[in-house]
């Protein structure tokens, strides 16, 4: 698969079928500045950068990296991208220590037979929802714990569509990640209430109708028995 535009100014630039089988999906927003959502597992930074260029953008304009949670398949590219372009790293406060400590278990680096260097975070999100405004466009970061304590989901309303970035809504829910089923139930309920039109998911790609988004979230709620 090639990098592509999902809706105007929102792109997929990486993921298991695009950059590296170990990567979570990587999304890019062009809002005057470039914003990356997640960064893959770390082996594909060159591919991500070349995909950003292929879409006609200068990666020097990468201003922010929004991390949906602390797992290596989403954060692995951060140290290199930060070093090259100086983008600011955003992640929820509760998922910050694994990054800053380079924790092999909580980052799941051990699972991927790699390591993650201790990496300082620039902005620690710390409320149920936090809104960033970039060139007048609101980007909402919702705290949606469950898979990890500091998982966030991100949404924005653009051209009449609500676009939701919901990574690892499929789980897994594991004790070693600090997963919590009750929180997962509450978080996925909140996500259903958003009635998003498009779901940009973390490993399986993009769901493009309201009905598909709803069914996707419901299927995992059913699987985890939280209906």
Compute φ and ψ for 6, nearest 5 degrees.
-95, -55
Give least dist CB 203 to Zn ion, A: 6
92 binds Zn ion (CB under 5 A): no
For 197, how many CA atoms within 13 A lie in the half-sphere containing its CB? 10
Give least dist CB 159 to Zn ion, A: 28
Compute φ and ψ for 160, nearest 5 degrees.
80, 5
Segment near Zn ion (CB under 5 A); pick from 22-30, 51-59, 87-95, 134-142 = 22-30
| 8 Å CB contact between 194 and 129 | no
Task: Give the residue, chosen from 71, 82, 92, 143, that forms a contact with Zn ion under the rule CB under 5 A.
Answer: 71
Task: Give the residue, chosen from 24, 59, 146, 150, that forms a contact with Zn ion under the rule CB under 5 A.
Answer: 24
How many residues bind Zn ion (CB under 5 A)? The answer is 5
Segment near Zn ion (CB under 5 A); pick from 65-73, 75-83, 134-142, 207-215 = 65-73
The C-alpha atoms of residue 91 and residue 107 are separated, in whole angstroms, by 13
Count other C-beta atoms under 10 Å from residue 1's C-beta.
11
| 8 Å CB contact between 200 and 155 | no
Give least dist CB 147 to Zn ion, A: 5
Give least dist CB 182 to Zn ion, A: 18
Cis peptide before 108 (omega within 30 of 0): no
Segment near Zn ion (CB under 5 A); pick from 111-119, 131-139, 184-192, 202-210 = 202-210
Nearer CB in complex with Zn ion: 73/158 = 73
Nearer CB in complex with Zn ion: 22/161 = 22
Task: Give the residue, chosen from 95, 168, 183, 201, that forms a contact with Zn ion under the rule CB under 5 A.
Answer: 168
The C-alpha atoms of residue 227 and residue 219 are separated, in whole angstroms, by 10
Q: What does DSSP assign to residue 41?
A: S
Q: Which chain residues interact with Zn ion by CB under 5 A?
A: 24, 71, 73, 168, 202
């Amino acid at each position: 698969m090639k990098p592509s535009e999902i809706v105007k100014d929102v792109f997929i630039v990486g993921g298991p079928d695009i950059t590296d089988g170990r990567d979570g999906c990587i999304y890019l927003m062009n809002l005057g500045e470039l914003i990356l959502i997640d960064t893959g597992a770390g082996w594909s930074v060159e591919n991500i950068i070349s995909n950003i260029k292929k879409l006609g953008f200068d990666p020097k304009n990468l201003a922010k990296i929004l991390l949906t949670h602390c797992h290596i398949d989403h954060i692995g590219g951060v140290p290199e991208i930060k070093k090259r372009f100086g983008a600011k790293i955003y992640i929820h406060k509760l998922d910050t220590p694994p990054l800053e400590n380079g924790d092999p278990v909580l980052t799941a680096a051990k699972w991927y037979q790699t390591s993650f260097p201790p990496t300082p975070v620039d902005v620690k999100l710390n409320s149920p929802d936090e809104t960033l405004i970039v060139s007048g466009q609101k980007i909402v970061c919702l705290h949606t714990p469950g898979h990890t304590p500091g998982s966030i989901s991100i949404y924005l309303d653009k051209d009449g569509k609500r676009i939701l970035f919901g990574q690892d809504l499929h789980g897994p829910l594991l004790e070693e990640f600090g997963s919590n089923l009750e929180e997962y139930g509450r978080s996925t309920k909140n996500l259903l209430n958003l009635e998003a039109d498009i779901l940009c998911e973390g490993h399986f790609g993009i769901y493009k109708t309201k009905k598909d988004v709803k069914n996707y979230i419901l299927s995992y709620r059913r699987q985890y028995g939280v209906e």
